[in-house]
Amino acid sequence: MVEFHVDRGSGLPAYLQLGQQVREALRLGWLRPGDRLPTVRDVVATSGVNANTVLKAYRELELAGLVEARQGSGTFVKSSLGSATPEDLDPLRAKLAAWVAEARSAGLEDEDVYALLREVLSGGER
């Protein structure tokens, strides 16, 4: 089950952060079709956000076809994102962790790493 964390200083609305975390969990294989999302009450208790914020996030995910609300049962994952299996991701995660450690030892901060990653993903060259 996914545990939500809301960064109040990020500038991104809490409902978008919750939705993004579900999407990432789907892509990484942490959530699969049939899995139950935490109840609204549980998310409110652990993240400190308003119940309406959680409901909005879940509604957005439902409109995207990723989850479905079942009356009296909760909200369940309906479809997955990404095509890689966790077994395929493990060696890549290890290589990425080693690269991040190297970047940190070279003095790069998180924003530097994000900027470099965005540049590489966009195909940008210097």
Q: Specify the pTM.
A: 0.74
Per-residue pLDDT of the chain (126 residues; tens, 9 = 90+): 788 999 989 899 999 999 999 999 998 888 999 999 999 999 999 999 999 999 999 999 999 999 999 999 999 999 888 777 778 888 988 999 999 999 999 999 999 998 998 898 888 765
Sign of CA dihedral 91, 98, 122, 7: positive
What are the structural domains of the chain? 14-77 (1.10.10.10), 86-121 (no CATH)
Q: Where are the alpha helices (DSSP H) in the chain?
A: 14-27, 40-47, 51-63, 86-105, 110-121
Integer Cα distance of 26 and 18 in angstroms: 13
Q: Are 68 and 76 in contact (CB under 8 A)?
A: yes
